[in-house]
Every structure is written in C-alpha cells, then in structure tokens.
C-alpha cells in the first residue's frame, strides 16, 4: 500500500506542539496561486513509501515524540493512504496528529462523507469545532480544539 511522499523529517518543533515527526506528501491538485511548495505538486515526484511499514517505524519510536504533522502537497489527495496511516497510528500510539490541508473542513466533509479524518486528527485540546484555520497561503490546519 504505497503512499507517495516527498520527505519525512524529525525532529521538528513547529507545525504543532512539542517534538514531532513531519511527513510531507507529494502531489497537490489544488494549485493555489502563490504556492511556495510548487515542487510538491507533481504526483510523479517524491517516492513511494509503504503505509504500514512507515507506521510500524513510527510506532517503534513513539515514546520519543509528542506527535506527527502531515503536510505537503495535499494530504487529502491520497485519502485512502492518509486515513489508513492515521488509523494505525491512533490505534497503536498516543501521538497527536496535525494535518495541513488546502481544503476547508466543509469541503473535506463533502469530499469524504465518512469524515474519518475528524476521528483521527487532533488539535491542542481535542475538541473538534469544525473549522479550518488559515495558515499561510492556501494552507489550513485541519484542527480540533
Ligand atoms: S494546497 Fe498547499 S501545496 Fe497545494 S497549491 Fe495550495 S499551498 Fe501549494
């Protein structure tokens, strides 16, 4: 089950609280004007990474980190892989998951009526308020508060 990713960075201390692992997906179909991450648009860039192998690696180091941040590129362009990964991490760890998307929560809910992303993605206090925060050009954090 291959997820197209650009890079994985650790530790990172931004894009969420505490010490984190950052995952940048490859590919973005939104193409915002003024995007500063155009190198992440092409779906044939980056490399394939097996979702479950990556999750297992992260689980093996979970005690050293507070959370994960997934950005890109557009994480929701690869929804099946994103949700599979997040479900596995949530089941096996206490890591919080922040995800930065170019879509609003309403748009994501229409595109993905299962709304599983709400179940698996966190904010600072864990209560979902159904909004997406503006985070720079075209990028919003999918957030519970
Ligand atoms: S969603 Fe993000 S990566 Fe995609 S075009 Fe907009 S700013 Fe760039």
In tens, the pLDDT along 88-115 reads 999 999 999 999 888 888 888 899 999 9
Pick the residue whose CA is nearest to atom 3 on ligand 1: 73
Q: pTM of the predicted model, to two decimals?
A: 0.88
Ramachandran bin of 49, using left for φ above 0, alpha for ψ from -120 to 50, beta for the remaining angles: beta
Joined tokens for residue 64: 């050293």
- Mean pLDDT taken over the chain: 86
- Weakest-pLDDT range from 17-21, 41-45, 140-144: 140-144
CATH no., domain 2-143: 3.20.20.70
- pLDDT at residue 132 is higher than 70: no
pLDDT at 138: 55
Pick the residue whose CA is nearest to atom 6 on ligand 1: 32
pLDDT at 79: 96
Is any atom of ligand 1 closer than 6 Å to the C-beta of 75?
A: no
What is the residue extent of each domain of the chain? Answer: 2-143
Q: For residue 145, what is the DSSP state?
A: -
């Amino acid at each position: 089950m291959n997820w197209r990713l650009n890079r994985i960075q650790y530790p990172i201390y931004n894009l969420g609280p505490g010490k984190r692992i950052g995952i940048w997906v490859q590919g973005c179909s939104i193409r915002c004007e003024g995007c500063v991450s155009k190198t992440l648009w092409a779906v044939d860039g980056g490399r394939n990474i097996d979702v479950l192998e990556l999750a297992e690696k992260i689980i093996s180091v979970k005690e050293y980190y507070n959370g994960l941040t997934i950005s890109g590129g557009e994480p929701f362009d690869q929804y099946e892989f994103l949700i599979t990964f997040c479900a596995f991490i949530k089941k096996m760890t206490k890591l919080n998951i922040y995800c930065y998307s170019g879509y609003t929560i309403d748009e994501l809910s229409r595109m993905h009526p299962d709304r599983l992303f709400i179940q698996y993605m966190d904010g600072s206090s864990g209560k979902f308020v159904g909004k997406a925060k503006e985070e720079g050009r075209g990028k919003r954090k999918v957030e519970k508060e």
